[in-house]
Amino acid sequence: MIDFGFGLSRSSAVRLDEVDLTLYRKLEKLEPGVRTCMSCGSCTATCTAGPWSGMSVRKVILDLQRERASAEGHGEVRKMLSACMLCGKCSMVCPRGINTRHLILSLCRIYEEKK
């Protein structure tokens, strides 16, 4: 077939009803506080690693809730987690009292299991 240089690109829209929430559900069990995140961004704003690494607990949670989970896991999320120094400042500022430090550790543990 002649290649005219046109193609169909995959839609970048997230299909909410088809999102694979397996990872998120696992995390919910280990750290139920994750459900109460209201995306205020306090954690991201206070994150020591954030400005240099792109680490954002808010984004990590939202990515788990929205992303289509692939077999190899969330590259972006893993990259963010690897920058965390577990200083716990995000736990201190969270207005909903989410134990974000435990949340991050739990998520790392889930990824370890997947390896």
Partner 1 sequence: MDSQTVLIIGGGVAGMEAARQLRLLGCEPVIVEKSDHLGGHVAGWHKLFPDMLSASSLIERMSESLDGITVYLKTQVASMNRLKDGFSVMLTNGTGLLCRAVLIASGFRLFEASRKEEYGYGVYDRVITNSDLEYWFNTGEDDRIPDNLSNIAFVHCVGSRDLKAGNPQCSKVCCMTAVKQAIEMKERFPDAEIWCFYMDLRLFGKKYEDFYINAQRDYGVHFVRGRVSEVSEDIDGRVILKAEDTLAGRQVKLKADLLVLMAGMLCNEDTAGLASMVRAEVDSDGFLRSRDNIFRINESSRPGIFFAGACTGTKTVPETVAEARAAALDIRNYLNGND
Residues contributing to the site for partner 1 (CB under 8 A): 12-17, 28, 32, 35-39, 58, 62-63, 65-66, 96
Q: What are phi and psi of 55, to 5 degrees?
A: -65, 130
Rounded Cα distance between 60 and 91, Å, is 14
- Listed in sequence order, the residues at least 6 apart from 26 whose beta carbon sits closer than 8 Å to its beta carbon are 110
Q: How far is the CB of 59 from partner 1 (least distance, A)?
A: 8
Which CB, 19 or 49, lies closer to partner 1?
A: 19
Which CB, 38 or 85, lies closer to partner 1?
A: 38
Which CB, 17 or 113, lies closer to partner 1?
A: 17
